[in-house]
């Protein structure tokens, strides 16, 4: 069920991570710690959220007052930032499943954590990941 | 019963001030204990103006929260703030002065927390565009909000409590507090460059970033803006025409809120989310606890002692209330402070022969509590809200960073208020 999936570390440059997400149209990235163990999943939506200044999140009407060149500068927010900074401040439960978990177990984790992908591990080692689209593919194929 | 009332009140007050528990839990818990032990009862807690929940205050706040909840959807505040920043031509000092003045004026008509919630995102945007530190701007705006809120009956919750307890009208506040606030704002504006020295350096190339903001885009629904403007005119006519219409401010606010809900078509859940139910319940719990102190005679005794301490001298009493209020409001939230002190001041006014002196006591309480809110980072709810916004934006404001400026500003505003009260109510009255 698991597919090979790119991983990034906590200290990976945020811009590199964003480019990886963009170039391969990924729903998110698996983040590993210094020892290569799964640390968290960085959903692409979280990176998008980081691009939006907090003042625009607080007052969405401010997004309209910026013209196109000003709005384009949002990518500057990734400069000099690592993946660690992109992750939510509050620690969230790691979306991880065992290599022998069933489709419904994987779906339950995704639904509960609202995460577009889960890391698949065996004996603490990452085997790959399952994305929401891969999961749906398997579910539909079963019928 | 008196001892129980005092102990429960003190414990709840300590919990509120130290935030060991949520302030709502402390206020409602204290009220519940007093009711359970029979220190007060349903008759006194729910139906007495002197010893129970002040429904005028609760419903005035509720009405204004609904109106503001709809008003903030218009984007008018963002429009004005960005327009002002552009008029300042990117000069950080001029931006700060204009934004603080807008904040002060808005705070006179909206509650301070709402004003800060509205002005802070625009400020962060402008500072981000200019590439300057927004912290001094946010601190200055909070201070302006606490000063401006003192101007009217509805500007700051302590004023609403004072008005309800004293019987002073919207126009009384306009005649007595607004001139003081205007003077304070002039002084505040003059002090700003020194208070935030070194915060106004900007890269000239970044000024263009502010000038390119399009404030017109902030207003999405001009028809809603017109409806809100019309209802606000009606509401303020109701406040000002109190003697003509004989409608309490709470009734005017509720009618205005109802009218705006009807004509705006804003979905119920949208404007109801702007109602701070926790704040309203906190007020209710607070009123029951203070009411128990009134019922058991504690407040009367306290007023007697203050009267003896001031030896029946009105000027001394006014100055004492002004200074003590400023100090205590900096340490604890000014809402519970004023809720507690209002019955004490009410007792004191009964011993005053000159009505001007009696009213001066109320203005001293309002000025001390409202301006005192600037003294520390926890002196007023608006301060706490602004610090939270700054932290989320990655620009943390430390307790001492705020308090260093706050103590100075409070000292200045009280130093202005003292001669104002002395001249107006003792020398010239």
pLDDT digits (tens, 9 = 90+) for A43-58: 898 999 898 888 888 8
Collect contacts of A124-128 with beta carbons under 8 A, ≥24 apart.
A124/A37, A126/A7, A126/A30, A126/A32, A126/A36, A126/A38, A127/A2, A127/A99, A128/A2, A128/A3, A128/A4, A128/A5
Under 8 Å between Cβ of B298 and B341: no
Give the model confidence (pLDDT) of B9-58 as tens digits: 889 888 887 778 888 899 999 999 999 999 899 998 899 877 888 898 88
Q: What is the mean pLDDT of chain B?
A: 89
* Range among A28-37, B91-100, B285-294 rated most confident: B91-100
State the pTM of this model.
Answer: 0.82
Residue B347 confidence (pLDDT): 86
SS3 category, B370? helix
Give the side-chain half-sphere CA count within 13 A for B365: 31
Out of A55, A64, A70, closest to residue B124 by CB: A55
Contact flag A53-B120 (C-beta cutoff 8 Å): no
For domain A7-142, the CATH class is alpha beta
Mean pLDDT across B300-308 = 79
Under 8 Å between Cβ of A22 and A96: no
Q: Between the CA of residue B366 and those of B162, B330, B354, what are the distances in Å?
A: 7, 13, 19
Chain B residues with CB under 8 Å of A54 CB are 124, 389, 392-394
Residue B154 pLDDT > 80? yes
Out of B82, B212, B394, closest to residue A70 by CB: B212
- Chain A residues at the B interface, defined by Cβ less than 8 Å, are 53-56, 58-59, 61-62, 64-67, 69-70
Residue B303 pLDDT > 80? no
Chain B residues with CB under 8 Å of A64 CB are 214, 217-218, 220
Chain B stretch 127-146, residues whose beta carbon is closer than 8 A to a beta carbon of chain A: 128-129
Model confidence at A15, pLDDT cuts 50, 70, 90, reads very high
Which structure tokens are listed for B182? Answer: 């205007």
Ordered DSSP codes for B160-197: HHHHHHH---HHHHHHHHHHHHHHHHHHHHHHHHHHTT
Mean pLDDT across A21-25 = 91
CB neighbour class for A34 (10 Å; exposed up to 12, middle 13-18, buried from 19): exposed
Three-state SS letters, chain A? CCECCCEEECCCEHHHHHHHHHHCCCCEEEEECCCCCEEEEEEHHHHHHHHCCHHHHHCCCHHHHCCHHHHHHHHHHHCCCEHHHHCCCCCCCCCEEECCCCHHHHHHHHHHHCCCEEEEEECCEEEEEEEHHHHHHHHHHHC
Model confidence at A34, pLDDT cuts 50, 70, 90, reads confident
Out of A58, A61, A66, closest to residue B213 by CB: A66
Residue A91 pLDDT > 80? no
Residue A33 pLDDT > 80? yes
Residue B294 pLDDT > 90? no
Contact flag B217-A65 (C-beta cutoff 8 Å): yes
Testing the interface with A: which of B122, B123, B222, B387 to mutate, by most A Cβ within 10 A?
B122
Residue B369 confidence (pLDDT): 93
Residues in a beta bridge with A28:
A43
Chain A residues with CB under 8 Å of B82 CB are 65
Residue B103 pLDDT > 90? yes
Chain B residues with CB under 8 Å of A62 CB are 78, 121-122, 125, 218
Partner A contacted by B124 (CB < 8 A)? yes
Q: Between the CA of residue B106 and those of A28, B138, B243, B355, B367, what are the distances in Å?
A: 43, 15, 25, 31, 18
Which structure tokens are listed for A77? Answer: 């927010």
Residue B217 confidence (pLDDT): 87
Percentage of chain B lying above the pLDDT 90 cut: 45
Mean pLDDT across B117-134 = 91
Number of inter-chain CB pairs under 8 A, A vs B: 59
In sequence order, which ranges of B220-276 are alpha helices (DSSP H)? 222-240, 242-245, 249-264, 268-272
Residue B249 pLDDT > 90? no
Partner A contacted by B225 (CB < 8 A)? no
Give the model confidence (pLDDT) of A101-110 as tens digits: 999 999 999 9
Please state the domain extents for chain A.
7-142
Testing the interface with B: which of A64, A85, A86 to mutate, by most B Cβ within 10 A?
A64
Out of B212, B220, B392, closest to residue A54 by CB: B392
Beta carbons within 8 Å of B255's beta carbon, 6+ residues apart? B63, B235, B238, B247
Rounded-to-5 percentages of helix, strand, coil across chain B:
80, 0, 20
Give the model confidence (pLDDT) of B224-245 as tens digits: 999 999 999 999 899 888 778 8
Give the model confidence (pLDDT) of B306-364 as tens digits: 778 877 788 999 999 999 999 888 877 788 788 888 888 998 888 888 888 899 999 99
Residue A12 pLDDT > 80? yes
Under 8 Å between Cβ of B103 and B96: no
* Chain B: residue whose CA lies nearest to A85: B394
Out of B128, B218, B394, closest to residue A65 by CB: B218
Residue A65 confidence (pLDDT): 87
Out of B125, B212, B215, closest to residue A55 by CB: B125
Contact flag B75-A66 (C-beta cutoff 8 Å): no
Residue B290 confidence (pLDDT): 84
CA distance B149 to B369: 11
Contact flag A55-B118 (C-beta cutoff 8 Å): no
């Amino acid at each position: 069920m698991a597919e090979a999936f790119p991983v990034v570390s906590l200290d990976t440059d945020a811009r590199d991570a964003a480019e990886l997400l963009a170039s391969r149209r990924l729903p998110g990235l698996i983040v590993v710690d210094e020892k290569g163990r799964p640390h968290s999943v960085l959903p692409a939506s979280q990176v998008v959220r980081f691009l939006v200044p907090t003042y625009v999140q607080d007052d969405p009407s401010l997004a309209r007052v910026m013209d196109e060149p000003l709005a384009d500068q949002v990518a500057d927010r990734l400069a000099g930032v690592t993946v660690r900074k992109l992750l939510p401040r509050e620690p969230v439960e790691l979306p991880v499943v065992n290599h022998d978990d069933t489709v419904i177990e994987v779906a339950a984790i995704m639904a509960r954590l609202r995460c577009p992908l889960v890391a698949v591990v065996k004996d603490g080692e990452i085997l790959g990941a399952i994305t929401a689209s891969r999961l749906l593919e398997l579910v539909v194929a079963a019928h | 019963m008196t001892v129980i009332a005092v102990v429960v009140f003190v414990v709840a007050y300590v919990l509120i001030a130290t935030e060991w528990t949520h302030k709502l839990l402390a206020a409602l818990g204290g009220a519940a204990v007093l009711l359970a032990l029979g220190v007060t009862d349903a008759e006194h807690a729910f139906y007495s103006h002197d010893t129970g929940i002040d429904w005028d205050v609760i419903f005035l706040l509720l009405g204004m929260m609904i109106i503001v909840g709809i008003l903030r959807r218009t984007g008018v505040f963002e429009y004005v703030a960005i327009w002002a920043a552009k008029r300042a031509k990117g000069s950080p000092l001029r931006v700060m002065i204009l934004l603080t003045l807008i904040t002060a004026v808005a705070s006179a008509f909206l509650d301070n927390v709402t004003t800060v919630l509205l002005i802070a995102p625009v400020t962060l945007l402008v500072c981000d565009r200019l590439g300057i530190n927004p912290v001094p701007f946010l601190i200055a705006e909070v201070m302006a909000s606490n000063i401006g809120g003192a101007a009217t009956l509805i500007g700051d919750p302590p004023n609403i409590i004072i008005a309800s307890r004293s019987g002073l009208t919207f126009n009384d506040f306009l005649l007595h507090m607004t001139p003081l606030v205007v003077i304070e704002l002039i002084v505040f504006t003059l002090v700003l460059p020194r208070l935030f020295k070194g915060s106004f350096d900007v890269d000239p190339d970044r000024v263009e970033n502010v000038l390119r903001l399009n404030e017109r885009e902030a207003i999405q629904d001009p028809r809603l803006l017109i409806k809100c403007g019309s209802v606000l005119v009606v509401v303020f006519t109701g406040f000002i025409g109190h003697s003509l219409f004989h409608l309490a401010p709470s009734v005017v606010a509720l009618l205005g809120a109802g009218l705006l809900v009807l004509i705006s078509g804003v979905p119920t859940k949208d404007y109801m989310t702007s109602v701070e139910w926790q704040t309203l319940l906190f007020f209710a719990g607070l009123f029951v606890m203070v009411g128990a102190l009134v019922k058991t005679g504690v407040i009367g005794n306290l007023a007697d002692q203050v009267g003896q301490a001031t030896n029946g001298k009105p000027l001394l009493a006014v100055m004492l209330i002004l200074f003590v209020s400023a100090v205590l409001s900096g340490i604890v939230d000014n809402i519970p402070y004023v809720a507690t002190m209002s019955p004490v001041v009410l007792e004191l006014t009964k011993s005053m022969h000159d009505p001007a002196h009696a009213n001066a006591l109320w203005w001293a309480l309002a000025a001390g509590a409202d301006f005192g809110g600037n003294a520390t980072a926890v002196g007023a709810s608006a301060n706490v809200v602004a610090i939270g916004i700054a932290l989320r934006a990655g620009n943390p404001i430390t307790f001492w960073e705020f308090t260093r400026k706050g103590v100075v500003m409070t000292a200045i505003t009280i130093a202005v208020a003292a001669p104002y009260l002395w001249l107006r109510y003792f020398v010239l009255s």
